[in-house]
Structure 1
Amino acid sequence: MSQLLYKNTKISYSDAGKGTVIVLLHGFLENATMWDSYISAFAEKYRVVTIDLLGHGKSECLGYVHTMEDQADMVYAILQHLKIRKSIFVGHSMGGYVALAFAELYPENTKALVLLNSTTYADDHERKINRNRAIKMAHKEYTSLVQISIANLFSIDNRESFISEIEQVKKEALKTPLQGYIAAQEGMKLRKNKEHLLHLTSYPKLLILGKKDGVLNYNDNIKQVEETNVPLISFPDGHMSHIENRDELEKVLLTFFKSC
């Protein structure tokens, strides 16, 4: 991983391969290591950039609230530093929110967009209440809160078969400092609905959801691509398709990249 100083804040990123640029954006409590097993496959034909988002992995916190637009501006700075003009974005969960913010702020730099276990919808009232509750709990029981949160990202059926993977995800998640946790929760709470990007933009888009996702209700979220030309790929498992459906996801993404 390399580092760039952005607004006096250290940002960690990786850059591998040559060709059309694929930017892989991790989710909340994750970091760029979630993509490690995909980079080698993708970098054979593409230039692959991964970034630790603000307050995650080896990237420092920029403030006490990291809006999705703050994150997108940081991503833009990394790509400018790398002299990259246009990219295909793949965003997992919160990474999808960041990709949507980027696409709205920098449409001329967006070649295509994949929302992986993510949504264009803003938080509803209940979700905001749950985030506030989690922030309060984080001040008291951070480690146990993170561990429980990670286990719940996998479908119930997979929690035993992926036990070693779950432990590794927990280990990476606990590298997120408390300030990074809170800043991301506050930022996600503030985000606006971006559904219009699915309807009004001309670049290729793809939505990938898990039918047993405990974070994003499958039946609610398939509605966002109704009356659009955005394809929907449905996997049978939970929120962690990059682990629970790894091989199938790699094939889906490579097919999508080839079509862009």
Structure 2
Amino acid sequence: MQKSITFKNATISFSDVGKGTAVVLLHGFLENATMWNTVVPHLSQRNRVITVDLLGHGKSDCLGYVHTMELFAETIEAVLKQLKIRKYILVGHSLGGYVSLAIAQKNSTKIKGICLVNSTSNEDSEDRKNLRLRANKMVQQNFENMVRMSISNLFEPQNLSKFKKEIDFVKTEALKTSLQGYIAANEGMRIRKKNNGILSENNFKKLIVFGEKDPVLDFKTSIKEAKTTNSEIVVFSGGHMSHIENKDELISTLQTFIKRC
């Protein structure tokens, strides 16, 4: 059941299921809390699982025209404060991983563990920064086509037909993102800074999960990042959408990680 709080006059939608260790699941760009629908039932058997719609996504409002990682983080902190949760594990997919790192930057003592799923503590390359600028211009001309194409491009090509039903659902949910939410989040990701130190300088448990054929994150760079930040690594065979392409493996990996935190 979705609940909500008001943060700076914006509605922030979230869910809170189960009892035990608090696990906060943060979705990626153009996603919302529904991306965790197949994960929550497994994790909530032994844990308290919180999912949040990030600003401009799902049922959460926008808050201005640039959603920085720090602003996203403030909204998550407001939800956790409302729920009186003091210690927690963060699991972030893509954009959700960037937000997780921003939360840890302010509140590292509250973090029991961080799992970056198809995400990184590195900043965007110059090419990707330029790509985000172009996307923010193009999306104003043809929002639906841009969103549909963006989602398809996240999967390993051979998985497009295999997971057609799931991909259609992702696209339907993605189209619920407002134009303002798209641009504000994309700009926030473009200007975010490198955040390796959050992982390398803290003693909480760290795990980086990535797809060997991820079209967004370079495989070799991800391997190097895990080593330099003293993070555990798990490599799946798919692309950027591990919760679909490698669903069972991801659930098992998260269950093991949570137990170790």
TM interval, short-chain normalised: over 0.9
Looking at structure 1, the residues matched to 25 and 228 of structure 2 have their Cα atoms a distance apart, in angstroms, of: 27
| SS of match in other structure, 2:140 | helix
Shift of residue 37, structure 1, vs aligned partner = 1.2
Partner of 1:110: 111
Contact 2:18 2:48 survives alignment (8 Å): yes
Secondary structure of 2:19 counterpart: coil
- Separation in 2, partners of 1:198, 1:66: 23
1:145 is aligned to 2:141: no
* CA contact 1:2–1:13 (8 Å) conserved in 2: yes
The equivalent residue for 1:215 is: 216
Match of 1:28 in 2: 29
Partner of 1:44: 45
Q: By how many angstroms is 1:229 displaced? A: 3.0
Percent of aligned pairs with the same residue? Answer: 52
Contact map agreement 2:196 2:229 (CA 8 A) in 1: no
Aligned pairs for 1:117-128 (under 5 A) are 117-128=118-129
CA contact (8 A) 1:153 1:215 kept: yes
SS in 1 for 2:72: helix
Counterpart Cα distance in 2 of 1:96 and 1:228: 15
Q: How many Å apart are 1:111 and its aligned residue? A: 1.2
Amino acid at match of 1:66: H
User: Contact 2:65–2:183 (CA<8 Å) still a contact in 1?
Assistant: yes
Quote the offset at 1:228 in angstroms.
4.2
Aligned counterparts of 1:2 and 1:128: Cα–Cα separation in 2:
34
Give the secondary structure class of the aligned counterpart of 1:226.
helix
Tell me how far 1:230 sits from its aligned partner: 1.3
Residue aligning to 1:86: 87
Report the more deviating stretch, 76-85 or 197-206: 197-206
Shift of the 106–212 alpha-carbon distance from structure 1 to 2, 3 Å rule, reads same
Instruction: State the TM-score, normalized to the length of structure 2.
Output: 0.98
Residue 227 of structure 1 and its aligned partner are, at CA, apart by: 3.9
Counterpart amino acid of residue 194 in structure 2? N
* Alignment of structure 1 residues 90-239 onto 2, 5 Å: 90-239=91-240
The count of residues paired between Structure 1 and Structure 2 equals: 260
Structure 2 unpaired stretches of 5+: none
1:65 is matched with 66
Structure 1 stretches (4+) deviating beyond 3 angstroms?
Answer: none
Tell me the alpha carbon deviations over residues 201-236 of structure 1, each in whole angstroms, 9 at most, x when there is no partner.
000000001011011111122111224431110001
Give the Cα separation in 2 of the matches to 1:45 and 1:101. 27
Distance 2:156 2:46 in 1: 32
Verify: 1:11 aligned to 2:7, yes or no.
no
Output the CA distance in 1 between the equivalents of 2:69 and 2:258. Answer: 24
**Distance across 1 between alignment mates of 2:186 and 2:22:** 29
1:198 and 1:225 in contact (8 A); partners too: no
